[in-house]
């Protein structure tokens, strides 16, 4: 609480964060802006609020995109203050039924796999024959993609090459399994020895940002144990949000635990987002076949605001011979697509507006394909494009790379 109060207390009220906040830009209400949130947090920590009702609502109305932190001249960790208070309020109020369901599914690999199987059978067979459409967060059932076959475990070939553990995350494992397979193929084509494990567990981000740290600890411990069990040169991610869990959130979870803190420090230099690894390690132009498409790129929030990985995806796209790259203006490329963990479920109208704004900016570029580097952004953007009647395709960069890599 002290830490939270200190952050809230340090706000200069300058307002530089306002136009960086996608929620504020959409709603134009001071109370949901980063500055307004900090003011509420300050009042809450000082015991000045008559009830928790408004603060709970205000804290929920946040995408946890990190843009306020990035644009604050004092580098105030507003998302961290929001997170800490969510933890405290979770201790008091617990989860609603949506999050209870999500917790049940994500906490255990068996329930996760069974839920995905059930969803794949029911959804893939009935989506197109439904006589009506239903809302699904900011999207609708008919605008959601079909689920691909899940990504399977792969063992090392032990061919003497650099060893890479590919941490796929829930979405690229169970929804976009094809993206996961592309990532494994690209890493293989680039000469890495790749491993994918059935023992990888949900990184826990949806529950962490909901304040439920206790539920995540077991999964986090299992993931750290798995990744420190044997030697890897790199641990690679196609989901920047999963990587943020390891690089930021797990440190906070294990700050009092010397054993896991040390194991995390051991992992730290090996943790890398896939475009970051490829841009750093390989000379792509010699490896690529001709492409011949016009593309643009959407920056996922965590790539920009947490991982600082902005130039690497662009380097890879521009290295593809025959690809015409059209940049959205940088501010628009990095504006949130509206997904934000559970945000689109609780605030579908704002999330939809953000999604459609992104669609408008994509269309302006005239691109045939919008590339991104995050499975959640891919889901939200593809659904928003479909909802808007656009035939622009949405792909993870790694899918395009796989298509044109010799
Ligand atoms: S930019 Fe930082 S200091 Fe300025 S109002 Fe926003 S949070 Fe406060
Ligand atoms: S994390 Fe994003 S949505 Fe939340 S207050 Fe900051 S800028 Fe706004």
Q: Is the CB of 353 under 6 A from ligand 2?
A: no
Q: What does the pLDDT average to over 378-389?
A: 95
**Can you give the CATH number for the domain in which 318 is found?**
3.40.50.1860
**Can you give the CATH number for the domain in which 35 is found?**
1.10.1060.10
Report the mean per-residue pLDDT for the chain: 93
Residue 14 belongs to some domain of the structure: yes
Q: Is the CB of 335 under 6 A from ligand 2?
A: no
Question: Do 300 and 338 meet the contact criterion of CB atoms below 8 Å apart?
Answer: no
The band of 115, judged by pLDDT with boundaries at 50, 70 and 90, is very high
Give the C-alpha separation, 326 to 187, whole Å.
Answer: 26
**Mutational test site, ligand 2, from 21, 39, 57, 60, max ligand atoms within 8 Å of CB:** 21
Residue 140 belongs to some domain of the structure: no
Q: What is the pLDDT of residue 231?
A: 94
Residue 142 belongs to some domain of the structure: no
Q: Is the CB of 21 under 6 A from ligand 2?
A: yes
Give the C-alpha separation, 83 to 70, whole Å.
Answer: 16
Of the chain, the percentage scoring pLDDT greater than 70 comes to 100
Q: Is the CB of 76 under 6 A from ligand 1?
A: yes
Q: What is the pLDDT of residue 186?
A: 95
57-85 pLDDT per residue, tens: 999 999 999 999 999 999 999 999 999 99
311-334 pLDDT per residue, tens: 999 999 998 888 999 999 877 788
Give the C-alpha separation, 281 to 269, whole Å.
Answer: 15
Residue 74 belongs to some domain of the structure: yes
* Residue that finishes a domain, picked among 50, 70, 93: 93
Give the C-alpha separation, 328 to 333, whole Å.
Answer: 5
239-274 pLDDT per residue, tens: 999 999 999 999 999 999 999 999 999 999 999 999
Q: What is the tally of structural domains in the chain? A: 2
Q: How many CA atoms lie within 13 A of 387 on its CB side?
A: 26
Give the C-alpha separation, 184 to 112, whole Å.
Answer: 22
* Residue that finishes a domain, picked among 55, 78, 93: 93
Whether the pLDDT of residue 185 is over 80: the answer is yes
Q: What does the pLDDT average to over 9-28?
A: 95
Q: How many CA atoms lie within 13 A of 365 on its CB side?
A: 25
Q: How many angstroms does the Cα of residue 402 sit away from the middle of ligand 1?
A: 42
Choose among 133, 194, 128: nearest CA to 159. 194
Q: Which ligand is nearest to the CA of 304?
A: 2
Give the C-alpha separation, 93 to 96, whole Å.
Answer: 9
Question: Do 328 and 365 meet the contact criterion of CB atoms below 8 Å apart?
Answer: yes
Residue 368 belongs to some domain of the structure: yes
Q: How many angstroms does the Cα of residue 105 sit away from the middle of ligand 2?
A: 27
The first and second tokens of residue 245, run together, are: 């869990």
Q: What is the pLDDT of residue 333?
A: 81
Query: What is the pTM for the complete model shown?
Result: 0.94
Q: Is the CB of 66 under 6 A from ligand 2?
A: yes
Residue 139 belongs to some domain of the structure: no
* Residue that finishes a domain, picked among 37, 65, 93: 93
Residue 113 belongs to some domain of the structure: no
Q: What is the pLDDT of residue 327?
A: 95
Question: Do 296 and 327 meet the contact criterion of CB atoms below 8 Å apart?
Answer: yes
Q: Is the CB of 373 under 6 A from ligand 2?
A: no
Q: Is the CB of 223 under 6 A from ligand 1?
A: no
Whether the pLDDT of residue 282 is over 80: the answer is no
**Mutational test site, ligand 2, from 30, 78, 334, 342, max ligand atoms within 8 Å of CB:** 78
The band of 3, judged by pLDDT with boundaries at 50, 70 and 90, is confident
Nearest atom in ligand 1 to the alpha carbon of residue 16 is: 1
Residue 82 belongs to some domain of the structure: yes
Q: What is the pLDDT of residue 135?
A: 87
**Cα distances (angstroms) measured from residue 354 to each of 16, 246, 337, 396, 399:** 20, 27, 6, 20, 25
Give the C-alpha separation, 212 to 87, whole Å.
Answer: 6
The first and second tokens of residue 247, run together, are: 């690089």
Q: Is the CB of 223 under 6 A from ligand 2?
A: no
Q: Is the CB of 59 under 6 A from ligand 2?
A: no
Nearest atom in ligand 2 to the alpha carbon of residue 71 is: 7
Q: Which ligand is nearest to the CA of 19?
A: 2
| Residues of the domain holding 345 | 287-404
Q: What is the pLDDT of residue 329?
A: 80
Give the C-alpha separation, 332 to 111, whole Å.
Answer: 38
Q: Is the CB of 34 under 6 A from ligand 2?
A: yes
Q: How many angstroms does the Cα of residue 22 sit away from the middle of ligand 2?
A: 7
Q: What is the pLDDT of residue 226?
A: 97
Choose among 318, 75, 68, 94: nearest CA to 212. 94
Q: How many CA atoms lie within 13 A of 4 on its CB side?
A: 22
Buried b (16+ CB within 10 A) or exposed e, 346-377: bbbebbbbbbbbbbebbeebebebbbbbbbbb
**Mutational test site, ligand 1, from 4, 17, 23, 78, max ligand atoms within 8 Å of CB:** 17
Return the biggest CA–CA distance within the chain. Answer: 65
Residue nearest atom 8 in ligand 2 by C-alpha distance: 21
Q: Is the CB of 46 under 6 A from ligand 1?
A: no
Q: Is the CB of 19 under 6 A from ligand 1?
A: no
Q: Is the CB of 72 under 6 A from ligand 1?
A: yes
Nearest atom in ligand 2 to the alpha carbon of residue 301 is: 2
């Amino acid at each position: 609480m002290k830490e939270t109060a200190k952050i809230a207390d340090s706000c200069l009220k300058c307002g530089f964060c306002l136009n960086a906040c996608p929620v504020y830009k959409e709603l134009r209400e001071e109370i949901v802006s980063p500055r307004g949130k900090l003011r509420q947090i300050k009042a809450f920590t000082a015991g000045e609020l008559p009830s928790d009702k408004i603060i709970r609502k205000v804290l929920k109305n946040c995408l946890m995109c990190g843009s306020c932190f990035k644009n604050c001249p004092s580098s105030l960790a507003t998302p961290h203050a929001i997170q800490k208070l969510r933890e405290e309020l979770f201790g008091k109020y617990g989860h609603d039924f949506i999050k209870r369901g999500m917790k049940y599914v994500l906490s255990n690999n068996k329930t996760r796999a069974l839920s995905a199987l059930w969803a794949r059978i029911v959804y893939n067979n009935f989506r197109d024959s439904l006589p009506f459409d239903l809302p699904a967060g900011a999207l609708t059932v008919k605008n959601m993609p079909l689920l691909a076959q899940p990504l399977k475990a792969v063992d090392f070939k032990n061919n003497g090459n650099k060893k890479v553990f590919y941490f796929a995350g829930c979405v690229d494992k169970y929804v976009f399994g094809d993206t996961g397979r592309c990532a494994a193929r690209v890493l293989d084509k680039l000469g890495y020895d790749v491993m994918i494990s059935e023992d990888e567990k949900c990184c826990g981000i949806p529950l962490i940002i909901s304040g439920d740290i206790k539920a995540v600890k077991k999964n986090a411990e299992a993931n750290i144990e798995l990744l420190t069990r044997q030697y890897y040169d790199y641990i690679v991610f196609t989901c920047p949000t999963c990587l943020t869990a390891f690089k930021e959130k797990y440190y906070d979870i294990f700050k009092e635990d010397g054993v896991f803190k040390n194991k995390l420090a051991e992992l730290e230099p090996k943790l890398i987002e896939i475009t970051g690894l490829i841009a750093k390690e390989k000379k792509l132009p010699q490896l690529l076949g001709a492409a011949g498409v016009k593309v643009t790129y959407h920056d996922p929030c965590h790539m920009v605001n947490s991982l600082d990985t902005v130039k690497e995806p662009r380097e890879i796209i521009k290295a593809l011979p025959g690809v015409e790259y059209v940049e959205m203006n940088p501010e628009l490329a990095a504006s949130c697509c509206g997904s934000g963990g559970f945000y689109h479920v609780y605030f579908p109208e704002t999330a939809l507006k953000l999604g459609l704004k992104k669609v408008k900016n994509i269309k302006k570029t005239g691109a045939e394909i919008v590339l991104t580097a995050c499975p959640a952004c891919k889901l939200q953007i593809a659904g928003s494009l479909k909802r808007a009647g656009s035939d622009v395709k949405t792909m993870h960069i790694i899918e395009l790379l796989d298509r044109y890599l010799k």
